[in-house]
Amino acid sequence: MGNGMNKIMPGLYLGNFRDAKDQKQLDENKITHIVAIHDQPKPILDNIQYKNIDAADSANEKLNIYFEDCAQFIHRARLEGGNVLVHCIAGISRSTTICCAYIMIISGVHWSDAILACRKARSQVNPNYGFQRQLQEFEAKITKVRQDLIQTVGPLNEEDKKFLTEQIASFDETQDLKSEIDKDNFLGTTSTFGSYERKRVDNNQLPDE
């Protein structure tokens, strides 16, 4: 289940169900908001603002219908100076997918690079193949979603784009990932995550606000 929540980027953390109840971790990381994605989630702590998503870790689950709403919740919290924990049960599939959608919106990186950005901080992340497909399809509407986010919630931060692309660029693809990834569930590859053909994004290609 991991060794605690992990900081994906400033203001955004990824973890599991246990982390969401660990007051010490919540205090240490100054968590103010939680996105909970699992079966029948409910608010636990009075001093935390929650976004609860009732969704199973199934390839058939339509998690993409929550991408925009969760992204707005996360972005608003971060703009207000808060820290957001996104969690499911294990902090591997559902919560990672939501974090990836947000990363794609604010940075414009390729969907599989968004997974790498999460994996850089939390090695066990591995969205199921259905969620990966939904992230891939989400790319087609990113521009409009980004515009809506800016208009509805507030501006993007150029430092976020820089941070994420540096995380992706520094990812060590020489790691032995075969044992960590469900290779049958990863789109487009039968070996390692790094072998998938991805689009590298540099700062000059990132979307402008």
Active-site annotation holds for 88: yes
One-character DSSP codes across 127-143: --HHHHHHHHHHGGGHH
Chain Cα centroid distance, residue 38 = 15
Question: Per the structure block, which two tokens stand in for 60?
Answer: 């058939």
Phi, psi angles (nearest 5°) of residue 52: -105, 125
Closest by CA position to 15, among listed 28, 1, 30, 29: 1
User: Tokens 């599991």 appear where?
Assistant: 16
One-character DSSP codes across 177-200: -TTTS-GGGSTT-SS-GGGS----
In the chain, the amino acid numbered 44 is: I
**70, 88, 99, 100: the active-site residue:** 88
Phi, psi angles (nearest 5°) of residue 106: -85, -15
CB-based contact 94:35 (threshold 8 Å):
no
User: Tokens 């900081």 appear where?
Assistant: 7
Q: Write out the catalytic residue numbers.
A: 88
